[in-house]
């Protein structure tokens, strides 16, 4: 008998396979299988007014090849078809040498803004002339990050609109995303500056436009490997490039192009305990950095007629801090990923974004997006209509043949099925 594919196994069989392959320990697999909720003590102390817990399925994208290393990538996501698409893209990319990533800098930026200063030019000059003092203030504000080899790296004062004095602080937050580290340093510097210069202190906080934490991922695909039963690989590649070009001149398309990228990125960001609101804010501000909202990735021909995809986006993710050390599943997910540091994690996440984009564009320009979605969409509708696991096997083929795939059809067909099975 043919060996079933990973997605055809039951959840327990999938966990057993991951243990067998050495990706998960038995303890971690048992912990995932038990799916225990957080204790009231943890949940109640994490947020205010806690009244319950919210469930999101956790899945895995297998064998994503990034910088010649193979990763099992955890996805926390409620949307059907995202993992299937990423798996498909991971497989194709693997056959073509995988993803290559680079991150030039990994710094967080904070802003300290003052107004109503008597002499903006003199105030700016004071900042430039008193860097040593301000660096000492930053060190004293957060000594432990300095001990870890991080802390304030650069102060850039700018006059904005002849009204504001902005200090941009570049801070190395090491393995943490660093929002709290940055905010602590910003506030200390803000008070020191205001004490000296007067004026009104408007705000001192990090910016989520983490443009000093940009990651680039790329993949090169032999168009022949894209060939389907009905379309030549070269035709698919040509159309993917054209669709990518279109996103550069049509904001409506760029938004959806980027949403597809974020399908995978948010899922890994969430699974690894990172702040997805921060990542979303950063990514979209980066997409709009030149004024017009742009796609985060693009596709082109190389000189030797290969299809090359490239994504560039800020990914200030952390391995420690926030809820990362608190949530047991996040710890398991880090072990499943076998990721060593924040830079490596950011590279994997960028590759996931490009993989997701690859799968979406390929589907769009060949079969259309709905074909692959239909079966999963039908499953969601059937579950929402109340179908049991046993009923699903009978209901799904009927639903997929129906003229209108919607809730009413699912409810009606389920009722018919139950009447017949009585």
Q: Largest Cα–Cα distance in the chain?
A: 86
Residue choice 176, 197, 240, 271 for contact with ligand NDP (CB under 6 A): 176
Q: Which of 23, 284, 373, 379 is catalytic?
A: 373
Residue choice 199, 223, 322, 372 for contact with ligand NDP (CB under 6 A): 322
Residues that bind ligand NDP (rule: CB under 6 A) add up to a total of 21
Q: Cα angle vertex 223, ends 221, 225, to 5°?
A: 85
Residue 60: name the closest of 112, 9, 115, 131 by CA.
9
- Output the smallest distance, CB 389 to ligand NDP, in A: 37
Q: Does 321 bind ligand NDP (CB under 6 A)?
A: yes
- Output the smallest distance, CB 356 to ligand NDP, in A: 23
Residue choice 318, 347, 353, 372 for contact with ligand NDP (CB under 6 A): 318
120 or 181: whose CB is closer to ligand NDP? 181
> Cα 21 to the chain's mean position, in Å?
26
- Output the smallest distance, CB 235 to ligand NDP, in A: 43
Rounded-to-integer distance, Cα 401 and Cα 232, Å: 29
Q: Is residue 238 annotated as a catalytic residue, yes or no? A: no
137 or 279: whose CB is closer to ligand NDP? 279
- The H or E element containing residue 153 is strand 151-160
Query: Are β-strands 69-76 and 297-301 bridged in parallel, bridged antiparallel, or unpaired?
Result: unpaired
Q: Is residue 275 annotated as a catalytic residue, yes or no? A: yes
Q: Does 171 bind ligand NDP (CB under 6 A)?
A: no
Rounded-to-integer distance, Cα 73 and Cα 62, Å: 6
- Output the smallest distance, CB 47 to ligand NDP, in A: 11
Q: Which of 11, 116, 259, 289 is catalytic?
A: 259
Q: Write the secondary structure of 15-28 as one string of H (helix), E (strand) and C (coil).
A: HHHHHHCCCCCHHH
Q: Looking at the DSSP assignment, which residues form a beta bridge with residue 313?
A: 215
Provide the phi-psi class of 373: left if phi over 0, else alpha when psi is between -120 and 50, else beta. Answer: alpha
- Output the smallest distance, CB 89 to ligand NDP, in A: 29
Q: Which of residues 250-289 bind ligand NDP (CB under 6 A)?
A: 275, 278
φ and ψ of 110, to 5 deg: -115, 155
Q: Does 199 bind ligand NDP (CB under 6 A)?
A: no
Taking the CA of residue 40 as centre, how many other CA atoms within 13 Å lie in the half-sphere pointing to its CB? 2
Residues of this chain that interact with ligand NDP (CB under 6 A) are 144-145, 148, 173-181, 206, 208, 275, 278, 318, 320-323
């Amino acid at each position: 008998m043919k060996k079933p594919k990973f997605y055809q196994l039951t959840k327990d069989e999938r966990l057993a396979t991951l243990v067998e392959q050495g990706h998960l320990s038995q303890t971690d697999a048992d912990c995932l299988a038990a799916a225990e909720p957080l204790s009231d003590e943890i949940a109640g102390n994490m947020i205010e007014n806690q009244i319950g817990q919210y469930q999101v399925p956790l899945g895995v994208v297998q064998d994503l090849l990034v910088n010649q290393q193979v990763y099992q990538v955890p996805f926390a996501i409620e949307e059907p078809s995202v993992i299937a698409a990423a798996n498909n893209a991971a497989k194709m990319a693997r056959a073509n040498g995988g993803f290559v990533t680079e991150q030039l800098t990994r710094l967080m930026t904070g802003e300290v803004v003052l107004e109503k200063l008597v002499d903006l030019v003199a105030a700016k000059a004071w900042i430039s002339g008193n860097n040593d003092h301000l660096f000492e203030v930053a060190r004293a504000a957060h000594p432990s990050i300095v001990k870890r080899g991080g802390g304030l790296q650069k102060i850039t004062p700018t006059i904005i609109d002849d009204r504001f004095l902005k200090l941009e602080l570049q801070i190395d937050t090491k393995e943490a995303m660093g929002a709290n580290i940055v905010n602590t340093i910003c506030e200390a510097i803000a008070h020191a500056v205001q004490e000296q210069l007067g004026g009104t202190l408007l705000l001192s906080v990090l910016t989520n436009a983490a443009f000093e934490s940009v990651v680039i991922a790329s993949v090169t695909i032999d168009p022949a490997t894209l060939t389907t039963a009905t379309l030549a690989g070269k035709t698919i590649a040509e159309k993917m490039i054209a669709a990518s070009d279109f996103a550069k001149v049509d904001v409506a398309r760029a938004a959806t192009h980027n949403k597809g990228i974020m399908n995978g990125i948010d899922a890994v960001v969430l699974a690894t305990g990172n702040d997805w609101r921060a990542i979303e804010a950063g990514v979209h501000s980066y997409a709009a950095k030149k004024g017009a909202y742009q796609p985060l990735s693009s596709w082109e021909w190389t000189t030797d007629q290969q299809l090359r995809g490239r994504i560039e986006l800020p990914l200030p993710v952390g391995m420690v801090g926030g809820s990362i050390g608190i949530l047991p599943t996040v710890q398991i997910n880090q072990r499943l990923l076998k990721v060593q540091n924040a830079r490596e994690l950011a590279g994997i996440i960028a590759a996931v974004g490009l993989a997701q984009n690859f799968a979406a564009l390929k589907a769009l320009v060949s079969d259309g997006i709905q074909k692959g979605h239909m079966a999963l969409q039908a499953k969601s509708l059937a579950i929402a209509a109340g179908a049991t696991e046993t009923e699903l096997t009978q209901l799904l083929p009927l639903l997929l043949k129906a003229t209108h795939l919607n809730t009413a059809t699912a409810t009606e067909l389920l009722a018919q099925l139950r009447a017949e099975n009585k």
